[in-house]
Amino acid sequence: MIESVIELLKVIFLGIVEGITEWLPISSTGHMLLVDEFLQMNITPEFKDMFLVVIQLGAILAVVILFWEKMWPFQKKTPTQPAVRWDTIQMWLKVVVACIPGAVVTLLFDDYIEAHLHTPTVIAAALILYGIGFILIENWNKTRTPKVNTLEEITYRTAFLIGLFQVLSIIPGTSRSGSTIIGALLIGVSRVAAAEFTFFLAVPVMFGLSFVKLLQFGFTFTSAEIWTLVVGCLVAFLVSVVVIKFLMGYVKKHDFKVFGWYRIVLGAVVLLYFTLR
């Protein structure tokens, strides 16, 4: 009984970590791998590999619900409004364009990355490197005026360039949202538009990765495994709702440098710990 409660608390904690780190540019994968290093769950390696990815579905559901009106193109609020919002469909086509580079690289190198780069040293180095990147880019941005201020102003070319930056997130510790936001800021997208496009971009990416992991694992679960998935996703969803609302309010008034400093400190602590261990 006590062991079951402890395992449940571990799942809840992982759900909290996922919900917080998935949307802040501090690397959810990096945090989940590091937490797993200290918080060993009593599950099979195959299930754990799948769980650490599929738990992201809870975080994605939060985005879909919070941004439903912006994401769903088939809405008619008044008699004068069209039933199909073509600007929303165009946005999803831009998201598809942005997903192409990452999809190609993931299919080609995902197995190699998982086998060789999912290490504390790589995670720590990525945390520090991109933390420095955030600080330098935000300092540089002080003298610049964004060329793109809204989602609607993002072109197919801009979407593809952001997608190229997202490729960097295949390295653990980089952060999918972090690499996307850094790329968007570099090419002149405002913080708010960059954050919103990150949310759009995360939906097909995470659904795709989760589907692949589920296929690789198979669809035969024990009752304990089902409850682990359900609880993890539910907690990630609830925490994500709070974090997304916080982030959208935060970026309207502040820059991303605080996340850069956090990444540097965390990366240094991780590097020091595993060096001295």
What is the predicted pLDDT for the residue at 81?
Answer: 63
- Which is nearest to 193 in space by CA: 140, 252, 139, 143? 252
Residues 42-62: b if buried by 16+ CB within 10 A, e if exposed: ebeeebebbbbbbbbbbbbbb
For residue 257, name the pLDDT band (cuts at 50, 70, 90). Answer: very high
Measured between alpha carbons, how far is residue 151 from residues 11, 22, 45, 190, 193 in Å? 35, 21, 40, 10, 5
Is the confidence at residue 59, as pLDDT, over 80?
A: yes
Tokens of 155: 């072109």
Q: Name residue 267's amino acid.
A: G
pTM for the model: 0.86
| High-pLDDT (> 70) share of the chain, % | 97
For residue 6, name the pLDDT band (cuts at 50, 70, 90). Answer: confident
What is the predicted pLDDT for the residue at 82?
Answer: 63
Mean pLDDT computed over every residue of the chain: 88
Please tell me the distance from the alpha carbon of residue 98 to that of residue 156, in angstroms, as a whole number. Answer: 8
Measured between alpha carbons, how far is residue 58 from residues 11, 16, 85, 207, 233 in Å? 13, 11, 27, 10, 4
- CA–centroid distance for 186 within its chain: 19
Exposed, middle or buried by CB within 10 Å (0-12, 13-18, 19+), for 70? middle
What is the predicted pLDDT for the residue at 252?
Answer: 87
Token look-up 């919002």 returns 85
Please tell me the distance from the alpha carbon of residue 18 to that of residue 137, in angstroms, as a whole number. Answer: 26
Residue 93: what are its φ and ψ, rounded to 5°? -65, -35
Contact 200, 71 (CB under 8 A): yes
Please tell me the distance from the alpha carbon of residue 267 to that of residue 103, in angstroms, as a whole number. Answer: 27
Neighbouring-strand partners of residue 148: 189
Average the pLDDT over 198-203 and give the result. Answer: 90
Q: Quote the Cα angle for 184-173-213, to 5°.
A: 95
